[in-house]
Amino acid sequence: MTESSTGIQELMAAETRASQIVAEARIGRGDRMKQAKVEAQVLIDAYRAEKQEEFNNMVLSKGGSEGNASAKLQADTNKEIQEMQSSFQKNATQAVDLLLSKCCEVSLEVPTARIRATQKNAGMVS
């Protein structure tokens, strides 16, 4: 009986060691995954910075500086706004007059198609 209890104790000890080894392996794997993620992020950031620099150089070589383009766009926008405002001031009274004249025009004539439809519904037309 001593041999069997010694064998069982050895098996239990081996099982405990195996579970410890598995736990350590899981922890190590998690650490390696975290480290790989950090390294991958560093590579991604470096690549992004490189491509951004290439893009900035291309923009500068093709179109000049961003400040000049932005200032020109702002000047064009302001010019168009001024033109629209002056056009509005010039045409506002005419537009209001036209709308009022159309609202105040009331035709008292009944269209002939409406008369026929009403007579047909009333049974007056044969």
Residue 107, H or E segment: none
105 in Cβ contact with 99 (< 8 Å) = no
What does the chain come to in residues? 126
For 2-31, how does the pLDDT look when each residue is reduced to its tens digit (9 = 90+)? 777 888 999 999 999 999 999 999 999 999
* Displacement of CA 76 from its chain's centroid (Å): 27
Count CA atoms within 13 Å of residue 31 on its CB side: 6
Q: Structure pTM?
A: 0.38
The per-residue pLDDT for 35 is 94
The per-residue pLDDT for 60 is 79
Query: Low-confidence residues of the chain, pLDDT below 50?
Result: none
